[in-house]
Amino acid sequence: MTYDQLMADGTARLKGAGIVNARLESRWLLAHVSGCQHSELISRGPDQVPEQTIAAFLDRLSRREGREPMQHILGTTEFYGLEFLSDARALIPRPDSEIVVEMALERISREQPAFVADLGTGSGCLLAALLANRPLARGEGVEASDAAATLAGENLTRLGLADRSLVHRGSWTGWQNWAEADLIISNPPYIASAEIKGLMPEVREYDPMSALDGGTDGLDAYREIIGLAAQGMKQGAWLVFEIGFDQKEAVSALLDQAGFDEITCRKDLGGNDRAIAAKRPIV
C-alpha cells in the first residue's frame, strides 16, 4: 500500500466516524507514525509504506475512530507556544484558554518577582505559560487529583520550570498560601451537570469528569474559590478565571458580592466571553 492510498483510506474511515477534519487528521496520524514531516508525505505519496508503519497507523486510526482525542493519541499538544504531554490524567489544554493566560500576564510585571498560583492546575498548562513568560516569577499548582498532579509535575519539569514551581497535591480548600499569591489563576470545572451528556464524545468520555462538572448551575467551584479568596487573598492581588460562554454575568456578580473590584471580562477568538479578572481591593 502506498502513502497516498493509506491516507485516503484513513480519511474515508474518519469521515465515517463523524470526524470533521478527516483528511487533516489522517495526515497527522500518518506523519506521526512514519516520522515524516507533512511535506514529506506528499513527495512519498506513490512509495510503498513499511508494514510496521501500516500497523501503527491502523492502530491509531482505530483509536481516533472511537473518538479518542487526537492529543491523547499523539501524546502531546501545543499551548501558548509550549509543548505539553497530554493524556487522560487531565483536561486537554485548549486554545481558548490562552486568552486567560494573556489576561493574567498583563497583571504581572516582567521586571518584578511575583508568586502565582493555579487552582486545579491539571496538566499545568496555565501555570507553565505564566512562568515561561515571567522569568522572575515562581508558582504553585494546586491539584486534588494525584494523577493530574503527576502530569503537571512532568510538564513543569520537561519545560525547565521545576526550579520555580511546585505542585500541591490536595484541594484548594486545604491550600495554605492564599495570602502569599500576587495572582491566582484557575480554569475550574464549569459545565452544568445536566449538560455533560451533550458534550462531544472526545470531551465527555475522555476528559476527567472532575475537571468538567461544575454542579447544578456550573458555578460551584467559582463560589468556593471566590469565598476562600475573599477571606484569604492579600490586598491588591488578582484573581483570573476561565469562564463558560454564558457565565460572565453570574461570575461577575459573585466577585462583586465578595468585595472584589476592577472586574473585567474578555472574549476569546470565537467571540465568546472566556476570561474574567478581578482585584481584591486595598483598604
121 assigned to a ligand binding site: yes
- Cα angle value 231/237/243 (rounded, 5°): 85
> Is 274 exposed, middle or buried (CB count within 10 Å of its CB: 0-12, 13-18, 19+)?
buried
Q: For residues 142 and 119, is the Cβ–Cβ distance under 8 A?
A: yes
216 assigned to a ligand binding site: no
| CA dihedral sign of residues 165, 268, 237, 148 | negative
21 assigned to a ligand binding site: no
109 assigned to a ligand binding site: no
Residue 281: CB atoms within 10 Å? 11
Whose grid coordinates read 491509531? 60
Q: For residues 142 and 121, is the Cβ–Cβ distance under 8 A?
A: yes
- Cα angle value 79/85/86 (rounded, 5°): 85
CA separation for the pair 177, 217 (Å, rounded):
28
143 assigned to a ligand binding site: yes
190 assigned to a ligand binding site: yes
Q: Which grid cell sits at 243?
A: 469562564
189 assigned to a ligand binding site: yes
Looking at the chain, how many residues does it have? 283
The per-residue b/e assignment along 123-155, b for 16 or more CB within 10 angstroms, e otherwise, is bbbbbbbbbbbbeebebbbbbbbeebbebbbbb
| Bridge partners of residue 168, in order along the sequence | 142
Per DSSP, helices labelled H in the chain are: 3-16, 22-34, 38-43, 51-65, 70-74, 98-105, 125-133, 146-158, 201-204, 220-232, 248-257
Indicate the annotated binding residues for S-adenosyl-L-methionine. Answer: 120-124, 143, 172, 187
Indicate the annotated binding residues for substrate. Answer: 187-190
Indicate the annotated binding residues. Answer: 120-124, 143, 172, 187-190
